[in-house]
Amino acid sequence: MTEIKDIAIIFSAIILEAAPFLMLGSLIAAIIEIFISSDAIVKMIPKNKILATMAGLGLGFLIPVCDCAVIPVARKLLKKGVGINVGITFMLASPIINPIVLFSTLYAFYDVNMSVFWYRLLGGILVSMTVGIILSLLYKDKKILLDNEEESCKCGHNHFHSHDNHHHEGCNHHHGNSCHHHEESVCHHSNDIENRPSKFKAISDKIISILDHTVREFLGVFVFLILGALIASIVQVLLPQNIWDYFSSNSVLSITILMIFAYLISLCSTSDSFLGKSLLANFSEQSVLAFLILGPMIDVKNTIVLLGSYNKKFVISLISIIFITVFIYVLGGMIL
Amino acid sequence: MKEKLLGIYFIIMGLMIYILYFVGYLNNFLASKMIVFSLITGVIFLISGILILCNKIRNITLKKDSLLLIVPVIMIFVAGNGELSLELAKKRANNLALTGVSSTQSFTDTESDVVLNNNEEVLYELNDSNYVITLNKLYENIDNIEGSKIIIRGFTIKDTSVITAGYFIIGKYIVSCCVADAGVVGILVKEELISVNDNEWYEIEGVINVIEDNTGSKTIAITPTTIESIESENMYVYQTYAFLQGDYN
């Protein structure tokens, strides 16, 4: 019985902690959806693959979102037409190289082992870029996103909102609001030329439109977060005692074990540094580094969330390549 | 109809966050620094729920997997006051290592070095607001604190492989962001005077000694002068960014 209560507590904590960030990610995705056209995004990204991947990295630094919030944002960018290398590099790098996580890592390791901070930063950059480029080569011209009905408006038009230069079919006017004011094929846009709304109405319509998209984005990911959090909390509570003792002495095996551990326990990237620091007592620096690089990039919770947006084959490739790349990076560092 | 249910669900989620906050349980799930984000989310849940009920947000498709949305509501009820079992603390101590016992913490601070100058009259009394910072300071200044007096309250952990033979741990859960990342922060206590029980609450007063732990590293341990059984209290302390707080003491 105590186990059930512990699972419920850990599950609730993960949801309560992740929901605000998921909401933030959904809000950013909604703003991208409403205010930035696909053309504008594609124009912003350099044509050169390496430079484009670095642009993804830059986005990861500038948009301070954690591993939960980054998924809807990355999905939106990919839907808007950015390359896989850009979207995936952004998705993997952001939870490690954003300023909040850098700060917590610096704080945790400042007086213990600063090399962990630097190698985590470097690993976050190199691994995310490598995985992004490899996947863009493997999935060139292939569809990786699932068709998600939740994101589509049911107004009968095959596009959304408030960009400046488009028309609804059948309506001879521009509009500046969400399309959710349609009923059947009749248009009831509130900014009809004959019935121009007040400024206040226009702003409130815009806010409702943003909230509308935020709710859709949020729901599209939240159900998968629930499933992921459920699995993560069960693993956390039912993990046997002393399970890692047998592996900590073998350095190569301990790297693998801490990678699996990071994958299973699904910690937030802003808090894993403190656990990583305590793991230094029993595990090698390289193992802890693997734990700190892999965990924010992929875990059980995010795997389930990703499966709700990307096709299964792509998710399996993504997880496998992340594991292999992190392992090679850490092992390479050990040999050097 | 399904949309209306979704609106009601959002309102329930928003209200649950605020109920947890006002009855004081939200602190048991989240670290203080995260609570403001949770409260903002509660407001967004409530506004979104109202907008859905007022048909301002509509045409949202609910699929079969949307049934999962009910799980957080049930789980928050089952979670009750949000206090983890003490059995889990032992497991955490084994699998995640002990934050305070096995490693030093945080930024060193010249001011704290001045304070800790082998003064045997110094008494460290740990409470929820200074628990982590004081333990950090003790572990950082391990060479200067032998002989100092200490009073600490917490739950006990015995009989695990991470503890030096003849000692037990008194400590609390330490939370960084939420209880999913909770570890155990504490200090070794020499098992003498009375035999304490596992997973029970005590207040211990004693003298600080420096010993070698079972990995051969230097650590601190209390030789108790009094051990008193107490009622259970707040089991969580929170990771703080001490150097940002200005006052390290």
Q: Which of B17, B44, B161 sits opposite A245 (nearest CB)?
A: B161
Q: Supply the DSSP symbol for B221.
A: E
Q: Is the pLDDT of residue A179 over 90?
A: no
Comparison of pLDDT for B26 and A26, the residue scoring more: B26
User: How close does chain A come to B151, measured CA to CA in Å?
Assistant: 24
Q: Is A232 on the interface with B (CB under 8 A)?
A: yes
Comparison of pLDDT for A176 and A91, the residue scoring more: A91
Quick one: average pLDDT of B104-119? 40
Contacts of A5 in chain B (CB under 8 A): 78-80, 85
Identify which of A165-174, A206-215, B11-20 has the greatest average pLDDT. B11-20
Q: What is the percentage of chain A residues whose pLDDT exceeds 90?
A: 26
Does ipTM come in above 0.90?
A: no
pTM of the model: 0.77
Contacts of B160 in chain A (CB under 8 A): 241
Mutate to test the interface with B, among A109, A154, A215 (most CBs of B within 10 A): A215
Structure tokens at A212: 């509308």
Beta bridge partners of B204: B152, B227
pLDDT, one tens digit per residue, over A186-195 is 334 444 444 5
The residue of chain A with its CA nearest to that of B84 is A6
Query: For residue A53, how many other CB atoms are within 10 A of its CB?
Result: 26
CA distance B86 to A6: 10
Instruction: From A143, A178, A134, select the one nearest A35 (Cα to Cα).
Output: A178
Quick one: average pLDDT of B24-35? 90
Q: How confident is the model at residue B7 (pLDDT cuts 50, 70, 90)?
A: very high
Mean pLDDT of chain B: 80
Query: For residue A321, how many other CB atoms are within 10 A of its CB?
Result: 19
Q: Report the pLDDT value the prediction gives residue A191, as an integer from 0 to 100.
A: 45
Q: Is A244 on the interface with B (CB under 8 A)?
A: yes
CA distance B82 to B78: 9
CA distance A174 to A149: 25
Q: Report the pLDDT value the prediction gives residue B165, as an integer from 0 to 100.
A: 76
Q: Which of B38, B65, B181 sits opposite A275 (nearest CB)?
A: B181
Q: Judged by CB atoms within 8 Å, which residues 307-336 of A form the interface with B? A: none
Query: Burial level of B147, CB count in 10 A (0-12/13-18/19+)?
Result: middle
Phi, psi dihedral angles at B52 (to 5 degrees): -70, -45
CB contact under 8 A, A111 and B97: no
Q: Is A215 on the interface with B (CB under 8 A)?
A: yes
The residue of chain A with its CA nearest to that of B91 is A241
CA distance B113 to A253: 40
What string of DSSP letters covers A249-296? TSHHHHHHHHHHHHHHH---TTTHHHHHHHHTTTS-HHHHHHHHHHHH
Quick one: average pLDDT of B45-70? 85
CA distance A267 to A273: 10
Quick one: average pLDDT of B135-148? 84
Q: How confident is the model at residue A248 (pLDDT cuts 50, 70, 90)?
A: low
Contacts of B30 in chain A (CB under 8 A): 13, 16-17
